[in-house]
Amino acid sequence: MDYSAWLSTSLDLKVGSNLTINGSTSTLRLFDDSPVGILKKELQSITATTSSDHAQVSSSSITIKDEFPKVAAAEASALLAEELSRVSAENKKLTEMLVVVCEKYNSLRTQMVDFMGKKNDQNNNNNENNCVEINHSTASSGSKKRKSADSTTNNSSSDEEHDSCAKKSKGEPISGVTKISKAYVKTEAADTSLIVKDGYQWRKYGQKVTRDNPSPRAYFKCSFAPSCPVKKKVQRSLEDQSILVATYEGEHNHPPLSQPQDMSAASTPATGANRRVVSNNTLNSSSSSSGQGTIILDLTKPRSVLVPHPTTIVDTSSKVPTTSNQQQRINNSSPEFQKFLVEQMASSLTKDPTFTAALAAAISGRFMQPQQHNSKDKW
């Protein structure tokens, strides 16, 4: 810090000046073992490098001894002001970043809606098979040898969907329409479990290490099978090991668990805390709408709320891009909706006592540390 400038601007003090305190002029001095002593050294340093009259320093002419607490308080005040402006600037920057992220997200979503609309048209025109092919995966599991038995199947579909749609299921066939969707789940890097919390109960029936991905792929059936034909495959993303890619086949014919504590996790020691599910096509959007400890942002609902749940599920769409869904998405990308999102984020942060406490601790720690004064009670 430039103490000389600070003295002159903040306290209107110049080195060498006398101070009148309580009617009497005190002889102010600096002590090497006090913070002000640092100031003295700083001023001496300035003196050595400049010829300014204001920087004439001698131990006898500078007197701040009696006013040390006052100076320290002023210094703290200046630090506070400085920190406040810094936090304000940071806050402004974060707000701008949030706006940019929202804009990019809406742009991507619009593109996806367009793409899905075109894709669906193609499927309706070309494909009697009603496989819903929705995959914009950045984590596709690579190539596979098998071709679709149905020659009319769309060539642009992913390997996974090819396989699922074309394959003659050996077990209980998924009757009629087979809906395929993918969900991307952000997990902790150290979390090695293949558990995706989606509100349904699953039974694992197999695990394989595939050729193109060193991470094993887990196979799940809905626990209500055979009455419920839904299957799920979970594998870590090749690009990002912290992302789980869950591929759903079929549609649940029953409601999700009312308290989705991830029954697959309940029967497994590993936990799936702090996961974020980003589904580009949910089998059942209501599957993620209940629970505890999760923040659910269902963008198919215009005024969705943040719901506690162990995972954060961002449901960006529903089964097939119907006209009403598209209309809803357009509404969701409106400035009002963005504002609502920001408000929700801000309120969820400020209402969080741990966040408030952490913020207070950070600030108090920042300002208490230099002085070690007994002002803790103020926080």
**Residues contributing to the site for DNA (CB under 7 A):** 144-149, 160, 163-164, 166-172, 201-208, 210-212, 217-219, 223, 231, 233, 263-264, 267-268
Q: Closer to DNA at the Cβ: 75 or 163?
A: 163
Measured CA to CA in angstroms, residue 41 lies from 12, 55, 59 at distances of 19, 11, 10
Q: Closer to DNA at the Cβ: 253 or 350?
A: 253
Q: How far is the CB of 222 from DNA (least distance, A)?
A: 10
Q: How far is the CB of 193 from DNA (least distance, A)?
A: 8
Residue that is written with structure tokens 């600096």 in the block: 30
Q: Closer to DNA at the Cβ: 186 or 203?
A: 203
Residue 302: name the closest of 271, 284, 329, 277 by CA.
329
Q: How far is the CB of 155 from DNA (least distance, A)?
A: 12
Q: How far is the CB of 217 from DNA (least distance, A)?
A: 6
Q: How far is the CB of 320 from DNA (least distance, A)?
A: 23
Please count the other Cβ atoms lying within 10 Å of the Cβ belonging to residue 379: 12
Cα 109 to Cα 114: distance, rounded to the nearest angstrom: 9
DSSP string, 56-123: ---TTT---GGGHHHHHHHHHHHHHHHHHHHHHHHHHHHHHHHHHHHHHHHHHHHHHHHHHHHHHHHH
Gyration radius (Cα) of the chain, Å: 32
Positive/negative CA dihedral, 173, 178, 184, 185: negative
Q: Closer to DNA at the Cβ: 168 or 378?
A: 168
Cα 256 to Cα 252: distance, rounded to the nearest angstrom: 8
Q: How far is the CB of 150 from DNA (least distance, A)?
A: 9
Q: Closer to DNA at the Cβ: 163 or 315?
A: 163
Q: Closer to DNA at the Cβ: 70 or 208?
A: 208
Residue 118: which residues within 8 A CB-CB, separation 6 or more? none
Q: How far is the CB of 169 from DNA (least distance, A)?
A: 5
Residue 288: which residues within 8 A CB-CB, separation 6 or more? 198, 199, 277, 279, 282, 294, 296, 298, 309, 313, 315
Q: Closer to DNA at the Cβ: 64 or 277?
A: 277
